[in-house]
């Protein structure tokens, strides 16, 4: 090999000229031979041997570049030359004097190409670093930078036209010819007017170095000045974009993020942005043609084709994107109006006389209109079952119109709608699943058959029946060319089929003239009858069809291309649609009116407007898979639970001092899930209240105060509960255990005091020790409170025998045992309805939290008849809302749903499937120290070192944030916050498990590349 033949003269020259000796490790390279030199003292250098015949002037260019940039205080690390002992920056190899040796300082990092997939923040950071580099090079000049006919200078890219026969097939040649034609049309006319300077010219995925950072990765450095030249400045960004966007599901979005970062550091001209998209494609064409040609000449040199396959994939994706749409999105990334025609249209439309535009629907003059709110958070729309089918959506709309006695429903422009968050509207973006949830037209909900009229004169541009479920159905696009304004188009969707038959392309339509009718559901795309009106400033060469929805991140682009139709249709006499408060406004309100120790999850904070099943919905319509909110036990806003509450709330809600059958039925049904002798129920409002009451009962029944509790246990937010919660009183702001609380070590068989599955008796011995110390002090225990699986401790499953022995020893000392099942009960652990059963024990008291009400404030304490009788010491127990009919109806619905839908069985099956998938990830990623838990109550412990099991809380935080960015809600637990907890709603099934595993796999690959 090339490197091996250089080895002897190289080591001699390094020793004699630089005084350097050590191990040489060959590295890949395009022209130069590259080596990593590691000295015996641990110092590392990059050794480069230029290819034979490299002009010294080019090496001088690179040296001057490095010197120029060394004093510019850039935010990235760049190569620096190491001088020889004689002060030279390059040395000729003795045996091969036409080859020059240089030594550079080593830049540590991971190449961009190893870190996939990359997200918007990292792309913007790369763009900013590239822009900062070019800004620093703006005043640099060197005669050797003007490299005549240099093949890698995009200004000379047309050389590939004569090399297309090297490509593998005609499909590839056709694709490259299309890109060449676009280059000639869209770039060449502007080439001479583009700003020029010296550029790096090769910011490919192997020349960009990253280093770990709190956010995941940070751009650390650029290497390899071998292709530096004087060229058009925009070529730098185009080349970086060609490689940075490889492998991205949404390459245009990635290029926009990159451009935003570059423009912030090195402002671009409008012409540069106009030519950027075709230049990215042209760099890819140069790359694939060069690879094909080189493969013929050097079939064994794999490095020459390293980017070929992903380059073809990216080229095909770029070819499917309309260049004017790309231009609009890149303009938006620079902070400019996305559609250049938009300002002129807005000026024209807003300066027309009030009566310039005719009504678009022929309705009776006395028809009353109303704003129809179909947004994600719409209370008028109701729960997801209200729009589960188009017919149900129609019923909900008709019901609302009837409530307000309106004949026309108006709304929808810019509205994030929940019925656009189904799989039919889903795509994969650069940060996981995303939905086209934002509506770009104005909807007018009116009876089928209503005449549709032209608001202004136009001609028929296209006619098409988009006969696909939930598409536009029959659609007409009109072209308008007002004498005093810009040309534009209007789209009318959900028409009748007969409307199309009466029209022809090119037909003139007078202002106010009827030209179509609203279609019935069977023909209009299967929507409730309505008219979708949309303004198109640029039809993007489409006929008969046009996007009517946008991804939230692309809304500014599409609203620039498609302004509000109300500019033409008017406001129908209605007040403007209320706008949602911005996240910043909500944050300001929380700061002003709420306590400062209320925390928020995720960054940026999540503005949630809807929940359903295993998902939460943000105000933008983005759907988040919820893996942490176990309180929504049977699924967010489960229809059966919601209906039970609504029905009872409409009739009666009062307290337990009156007779009502609901509380008795609820208690009977709950007691039936528990083993004897647990038979007496008390209903409260939360898990905290349940544990508070349980502590009172234990202390009353025993006449004692001292409680045993587990290290890092958490039992609620009341004073008494905090007093037995080590997680709180041993944490920030805590004051340690009160005198009556005695903590025993957390029975953690993975990273605790004793390790291994057989450590239960050893941990239980600490219970004995605590009891002995109490006895020596002349005291006896009231009882023990313990979660059956420790949640805040990190989803710790106690080793076998621990609870059995702990329960027995406390009882032998006269104490009682409380099983805190707030987190783990009601079938969550799958194999058993209550987690304590996994340990073969029966407690004296069980506490159950808000999962019993699916989030509604209902909880319970269930105990034995003997303890209940002892608690009834003459003092009445009364809880105003505990056991009220509404809460009991809801609780019964939850129990019924768990049982009728087999959710406990599903939790066991899904949990086993999920555990197996997580263990597969564990085999690939040593950072996963342990996967543990039962059913849908799982923990993933992350460690920096699998041998000493050092907690890796930074990785845990990074995973939570990255998963959030990809639409998965996760959280951490454990004393060091290094355990990912998984405790989703119980409707979470195999499909959701696959989504979680897929996204977690991608995030781990990103944060811990192979």
Cα dist from 917 to 912, 920, 926, 933, 940, whole Å = 9, 5, 15, 14, 12
pLDDT greater at residue 257 or residue 604: 257
pLDDT tens-place string over residues 345-380: 999 999 999 789 999 999 999 999 999 999 999 999
The dihedrals phi and psi of 790, each to the nearest 5 degrees, come to -75, 120
DSSP-assigned letters across all residues of 709-763: EETT----SSHHHHTT-HHHHTSTT-----TTEEEE----TTTSSS-STT-HHHH
What is the pTM (predicted TM-score) of this model? Answer: 0.94
Q: How far, in Å, CA of 260 to CA of 332, rounded?
A: 9
Q: How far, in Å, CA of 436 to CA of 420, rounded?
A: 7
Pure H helices in 781-936: 802-812, 865-871, 885-900, 903-924
May I ask the CATH architecture of the domain 111-336? Alpha-Beta Complex (3.90)
Region label for 864, one of left (φ > 0), alpha (ψ between -120 and 50) or beta (otherwise):
beta
**Going by C-beta distance under 8 Å and a sequence separation of 6 or more, which residues neighbour residue 388?**
none
CATH class as words, domain 668-884: alpha beta
CATH class as words, domain 6-107: alpha beta
Contact between 120 and 128 (Cβ < 8 Å)? no
Q: How far, in Å, CA of 863 to CA of 675, rounded?
A: 11
Cα dist from 616 to 435, 635, 774, 861, 936, whole Å = 14, 10, 48, 30, 18
Q: How far, in Å, CA of 249 to CA of 272, rounded?
A: 25
Average pLDDT of the residues in 871-876: 92
- pLDDT of res. 2: 44
pLDDT tens-place string over residues 952-997: 999 999 999 999 999 999 999 999 999 999 999 999 999 999 999 9
| Helix 251-265 and helix 270-297, axial crossing angle in degrees, nearest 10 | 120
- pLDDT of res. 773: 97
pLDDT greater at residue 300 or residue 933: 933
pLDDT for 560 beyond 60: yes
pLDDT for 7 beyond 90: no
Instruction: Return the SS3 of 688.
Output: helix
CATH 2.60.120.20 correct for 344-569: no
- pLDDT of res. 629: 95
Q: How far, in Å, CA of 254 to CA of 870, rounded?
A: 68
Other CB atoms within 10 Å distance of the CB of residue 28: 12
pLDDT for 580 beyond 90: no
Q: Is the peptide bond before 117 cis (omega within 30 degrees of 0)?
A: yes
Of 180, 191, 190, which Cα lies nearest the Cα of 158?
180
Average pLDDT of the residues in 850-871: 96
The pair of three-digit structure tokens given for residue 604, joined into one six-digit string: 């940026």
Of 997, 837, 823, which Cα lies nearest the Cα of 910?
997
Q: How far, in Å, CA of 848 to CA of 851, rounded?
A: 8
Contact between 240 and 203 (Cβ < 8 Å)? yes
Q: How far, in Å, CA of 840 to CA of 827, rounded?
A: 16
Of 798, 777, 802, which Cα lies nearest the Cα of 789?
798
Hey, where are the domains in the chain?
6-107, 111-336, 344-569, 668-884, 904-1007
Q: How far, in Å, CA of 523 to CA of 500, rounded?
A: 12
Average pLDDT of the residues in 391-415: 96
The pair of three-digit structure tokens given for residue 17, joined into one six-digit string: 């000229």
pLDDT for 210 beyond 60: yes
The dihedrals phi and psi of 397, each to the nearest 5 degrees, come to -70, -45
Cα dist from 807 to 235, 305, 943, whole Å = 73, 67, 32
- pLDDT of res. 1: 37
CATH code at 904-1007: 3.90.1150.10
Average pLDDT of the residues in 217-236: 98
Instruction: Return the SS3 of 565.
Output: coil
DSSP-assigned letters across all residues of 339-370: STTHHHHHHHHHTS-TTSS--SB---TT--EE
Region label for 596, one of left (φ > 0), alpha (ψ between -120 and 50) or beta (otherwise):
alpha
Contact between 112 and 245 (Cβ < 8 Å)? no
Query: What is the rounded (10 degree) CA torsion for 480, 486, 489, 490?
Result: -80
| Helix 308-319 and helix 170-186, axial crossing angle in degrees, nearest 10 | 60
The pair of three-digit structure tokens given for residue 516, joined into one six-digit string: 């179509």
Q: How far, in Å, CA of 327 to CA of 278, rounded?
A: 10
Confidence label for 392 from pLDDT (cuts 50, 70 and 90) = very high
């Amino acid at each position: 090999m090339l490197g091996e033949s250089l080895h002897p003269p190289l080591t001699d020259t390094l020793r004699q000229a630089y005084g350097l000796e050590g191990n040489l490790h060959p590295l890949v390279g395009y022209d130069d031979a590259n080596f990593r030199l590691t000295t015996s003292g641990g110092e590392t250098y990059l050794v480069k041997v230029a290819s034979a015949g490299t002009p010294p002037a080019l090496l001088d260019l690179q040296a001057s570049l490095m010197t120029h940039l060394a004093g510019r205080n850039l935010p990235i690390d760049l190569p620096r030359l190491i001088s020889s002992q004689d002060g030279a920056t390059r040395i000729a190899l003795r045996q091969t004097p036409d080859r020059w040796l240089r030594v550079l300082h080593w830049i540590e990092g991971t190449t961009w190409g190893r870190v996939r997939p990359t997200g918007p923040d990292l792309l913007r950071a790369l763009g900013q670093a590239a822009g900062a580099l070019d800004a620093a090079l703006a005043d640099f000049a060197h005669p050797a930078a003007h490299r005549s006919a240099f093949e890698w200078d995009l200004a000379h890219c047309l050389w590939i036209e004569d090399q297309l026969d090297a490509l593998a097939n005609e499909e590839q040649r056709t694709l490259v010819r299309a890109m060449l034609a676009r280059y000639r049309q869209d770039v060449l006319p502007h080439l001479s007017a583009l700003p020029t300077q010296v550029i790096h010219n090769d910011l490919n995925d192997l020349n960009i170095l990253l280093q770990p950072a709190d956010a995941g990765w940070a751009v650390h450095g650029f290497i390899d000045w071998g292709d530096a030249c004087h060229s058009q400045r925009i070529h730098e960004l185009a080349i970086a974009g060609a490689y940075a966007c490889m492998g991205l599901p949404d390459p245009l979005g990635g290029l926009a993020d990159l451009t935003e970062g570059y423009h912030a550091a090195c402002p671009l001209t409008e012409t540069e942005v106009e030519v950027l998209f075709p230049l990215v494609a042209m760099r890819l064409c140069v790359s694939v043609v060069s690879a094909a040609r080189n493969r013929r000449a050097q079939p064994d040199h794999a490095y020459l084709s390293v980017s070929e396959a992903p380059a073809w994939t990216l080229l095909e994706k770029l070819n499917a994107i309309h260049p004017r749409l790309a231009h609009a999105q890149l303009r938006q990334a620079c902070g400019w109006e996305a559609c250049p025609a938009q300002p002129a249209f807005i000026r024209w439309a807003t300066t027309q006389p009030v009566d310039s535009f005719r009504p678009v629907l022929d309705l009776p003059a006395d028809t009353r209109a109303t704003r129809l709110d179909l947004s994600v958070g719409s209370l008028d729309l109701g729960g997801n079952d209200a729009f589960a089918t188009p017919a149900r959506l129609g019923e909900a709309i008709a019901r609302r119109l009837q409530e307000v006695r309106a004949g026309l429903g108006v709304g929808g422009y810019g509205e994030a709608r929940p019925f656009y968050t189904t799989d039919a509207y889903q795509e994969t973006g650069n940060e996981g699943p995303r939905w086209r949830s934002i509506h770009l037209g104005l909807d007018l909900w009116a009876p089928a058959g209503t005449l549709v009229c032209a608001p202004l004169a136009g001609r028929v541009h296209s006619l098409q029946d988009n006969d696909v479920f939930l598409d536009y159905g029959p659609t007409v696009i009109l072209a308008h060319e007002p004498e005093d304004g810009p040309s534009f188009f209007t789209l009318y969707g959900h028409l009748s089929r007969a409307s199309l038959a009466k029209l022809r392309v090119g037909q003139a339509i007078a202002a106010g003239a009827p030209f179509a009718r609203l279609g019935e559901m069977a023909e209009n795309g299967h929507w409730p009858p309505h008219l979708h009106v949309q303004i198109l400033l640029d039809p993007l060469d489409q006929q008969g069809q046009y996007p009517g929805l946008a991804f939230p991140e692309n809304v500014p682009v599409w609203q620039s291309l498609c302004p509000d139709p109300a500019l033409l249709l008017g406001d129908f006499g209605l007040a403007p649609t209320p706008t949602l408060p911005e996240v910043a406004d909500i944050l300001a309100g929380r700061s002003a009116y709420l306590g400062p120790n209320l925390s928020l999850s995720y960054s940026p904070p999540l503005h949630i407007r809807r929940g359903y099943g295993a998902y939460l919905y943000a105000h933008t319509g983005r759907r988040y898979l919820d893996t942490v909110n176990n309180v929504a036990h049977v699924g967010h806003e489960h229809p059966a639970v919601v209906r039970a509450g609504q029905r009872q709330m409409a009739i009666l809600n009062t307290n337990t001092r009156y007779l009502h059958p609901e509380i008795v039925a609820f208690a009977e049904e709950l007691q039936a899930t528990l083993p004897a002798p647990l038979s007496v129920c008390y209903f409260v409002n939360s898990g905290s209240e349940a544990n508070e009451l349980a502590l009172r009962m234990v202390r009353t029944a025993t006449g004692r105060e001292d409680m045993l509790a587990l290290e890092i246990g958490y039992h609620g937010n009341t004073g008494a509960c905090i007093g037995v919660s080590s997680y709180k009183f041993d944490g920030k702001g805590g004051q340690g255990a009160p005198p009556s609380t005695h903590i025993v070590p957390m029975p953690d068989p993975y990273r605790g005091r004793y390790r291994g599955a057989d450590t239960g008796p050893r941990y239980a011995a600490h219970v004995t020790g605590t009891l002995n110390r109490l006895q020596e002090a002349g005291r006896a225990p009231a009882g023990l409170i313990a979660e059956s699986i420790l949640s805040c401790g990190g989803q710790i499953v106690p080793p076998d025998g621990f609870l059995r022995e702990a329960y027995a020893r406390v009882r032998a000392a006269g104490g009682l045992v409380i099983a805190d099942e707030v987190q783990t009960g009601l079938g969550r652990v799958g194999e058993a309805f209550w987690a304590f059963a996994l340990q073969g024990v029966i407690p004296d008291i069980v506490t159950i939290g808000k999962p019993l009400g699916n989030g509604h404030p209902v909880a319970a304490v269930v105990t034995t008849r003997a303890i209940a009788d002892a608690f009834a010491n003459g003092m009445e127990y009364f809880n105003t809302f505990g056991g009220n009919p509404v809460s009991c109806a809801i609780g019964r619905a939850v129990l019924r749903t768990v049982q009728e839908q087999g959710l406990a069985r599903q939790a066991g099956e899904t949990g086993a499937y999920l555990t197996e998938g997580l263990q597969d990830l564990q085999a690939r990623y040593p950072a996963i120290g342990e996967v543990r838990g039962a059913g849908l109550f799982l923990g993933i412990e992350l460690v920096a070192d699998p041998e000493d099991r050092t907690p890796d809380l930074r990785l845990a935080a990074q995973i939570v944030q990255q998963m959030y960015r990809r639409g998965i809600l996760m959280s951490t637990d454990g004393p060091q916050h290094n355990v990912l907890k998984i405790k989703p709603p119980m409707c979470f099934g195999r499909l959701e498990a696959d989504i979680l595993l897929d996204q977690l796999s991608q995030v781990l690959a990103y944060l811990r590349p192979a």
